[in-house]
Structure 1
Amino acid sequence: MDQIRKFIDHISPISDSDWDFFSSKLKEVPFHKNTTLLKTGKIEQHLSFIAKGIVRLYIPKEEADVTFGFLFENEFVTAYDSFLTQTPSEYQIETLTETILWQISHKDLQEVYKNTTIGNIIGRKMAENMYLRKSKRELSLLSQTAEERYLSLFSDRPKLLKQIPLKYIASYIGVTPQALSRIRKRIT
C-alpha cells in the first residue's frame, strides 16, 4: 500500500486523515496470469492500482484481438469510460502476468471524493493523466510508422516488454505478427 501513497503524494500531497479514509476503502486482490478482469458487456466497478504485474486492454475479435493498451506496475487500470458512466464496456481487460491490484469500488471512490479534501484533485489529475496517455497513443497511430511505435514502446519499457507475447505487441502497434518480425529483424 506504500506504493499507492507514494504515487498519490507525487501527484499531490495527501494528509494523513485523507489517506486513512482513502486507504480504508482499498482491497488488495491477487490475480493469476491470463485472468480476465473485465469482459465486454460488463460494467466496470473498480479503479485499480497495479502493485505488481502487467495488464492488457483489448477488443476481442474472432480473427484476432485488437490490443490498444498495456498498463504496468505503479499505474492505475480501469475501463474508465465504463467506470465513469456505469455502462457496459466495449472492451476487455486481462492480466498478462501474475498481478496484484489494490482496488476501490465506484461507490467507495464517490465517498472519497465527497469526504476528503484531496480526493477531487487527485481524481482530476488522474483523469488528465489518462487523457494525455490516450492522446499520445492516438497521435502515435496517426503520425508514426509501425517501426517508430515499436521503438517508442520498447524504449519506454524494455524489460517489461519481454513478458508480453509478440502477437499483442504487433496488434498494439497496428501490424501483423509477421510484419513485426520484419521490423525486429531490421532493427537488430
Structure 2
Amino acid sequence: MQFDPEILFQNMFNSLKSYYAGFCTGLQETIRRHCEIQSYHKNSTILEYGQVCKSCFFALQGLVVARFMHDGNEKVSWFMGAGDVIIAVDSFYRQTPSTEKLVALMDVICISLPNEALQKIYHEFPEFNIVGRRLTEEYYIKSMERNKWVSFSARERYKLLLEQYPRLFQHVGNADMATYLGVDKSTLYRIKKAQSRKK
C-alpha cells in the first residue's frame, strides 16, 4: 500500500483538532515523533487474543472488526473505520491481555501511538488531555446508544445500522453481520430481503 506520510499526519491532526483546536506546533511534533504509520492487508490480524494492546491506532483508511469468544463461539462486538481510534478497550487502558481480537476487514492504513508515549504526552502537554477526554466521551455515548439496541429486535437493529452506519454494509460480510446482530445467516437474508422491498 502506497501513501504520503505528510498527508496522513495532516489528516489525523485535522481530525483531532475537531476535539481541541488549540494544537500547538510543539504538541504536533511530539505526537508525530512517537507515532508510526502502519498498514494491514485485508484479513490480517492487528491484535490477537491474549496479546496486550500496547498502542492505539488512528484509522485513516479501511475497516476493522473487534471479535470476542463466548461459549466457545466467536462473536462480533463492533466495527471501526476511517476516523476512528482502534483499540481493544480493556487491554489498552489496563495494559492486560486482550479478550478481543482485532482483524482488518479491508486494507487498513493507520497511525499508531504507544500507550507509554501517550501517557508522557498527557503529562508534557496537559491540553492534550482535553482531546483524550472528549474522545472518551464521544465513544462512551455511542457505546451506550448501541447498548440500548440489545432490547430491539434483529430487524430493528439492522435498520438502525443501515441508517447510522451505512458504510458497514459495503464491506462487512454476512457472517460478521449476522454474528453482530445475534442471528443466523438465513435470518439475516430474510431481514435484508424484507428491507430491500421497502426501498
Q: Could you tell me the TM-score, scaled by structure 1's length?
A: 0.93
In structure 1, the partner of 2:47 is 38
Spell out, residue by residue over 1:44-78, the C-alpha distance to the aligned partner (whole angstroms, 9 max, x if none).
10100111000000114686421110011111110
Quote the Cα distance in structure 2 between the aligned partners of 1:61 and 1:99: 27
State the AA in 1 paired with 2:169. L
Question: CA–CA distance in 2 between the matches of 1:33 and 1:95?
Answer: 5
1:102 counterpart = 2:133 = no
Aligned to 1:156: 164
Aligned equivalent of 2:98, options 70, 76, 89: 89
Shift of 1:158: 2.5
User: How many pairs are equivalent?
Assistant: 187
1:117 CA drift (Å): 3.1
* Residues 1:3 and 2:11 aligned together: yes
CA contact (8 A) 1:45 1:83 kept: yes
Correspondence for 1:175 = 183
**Is residue 2:68 matched to residue 1:59?**
yes
SS in 2 for 1:65: strand
* Aligned-partner residue type, residue 108 of structure 2: T
- Per the alignment, residue 3 of structure 2 pairs with none
Provide the TM-score with structure 2 as the length reference.
0.88
One-letter identity of the residue aligned with 1:125: R
Tell me: CA distance 1:34–1:173, structure 2 relative to 1, closer, same or farther (3 Å).
Answer: same
Cα deviations by residue, 1:69-105 (Å, 9 ceiling, x for unpaired)? 0011111110121111111111111100000010000
Q: Counterparts of 1:37 and 1:163 in 2: how far apart (Å)?
A: 17
Cα distance in 2 between the residues matched to 1:135 and 1:71: 16
Structure 1 residue identity aligned to 2:192: R
> In 1, Cα distance between the equivalents of 2:167 and 2:98?
30
Q: Write the mapping of 1:64-83 to structure 2, written as runs, cut at 5 A.
A: 64-83=73-92
1:2 maps to amino acid? Q
What 5-or-longer segments of structure 2 have no aligned partner?
1-8
- Contact kept? 1:38, 1:93, Cα under 8 Å: yes
The percent identity for this pair of structures is 24
Quote the residue 1:115 is aligned against. Answer: 124
Paired residues of 1:54 and 1:95 also in contact (CA < 8 A): yes
Contact 1:18 1:118 in 2 (8 A): no
Unpaired segments ≥5 residues, structure 1:
none
2: CA distance between counterparts of 1:150 and 1:46? 32
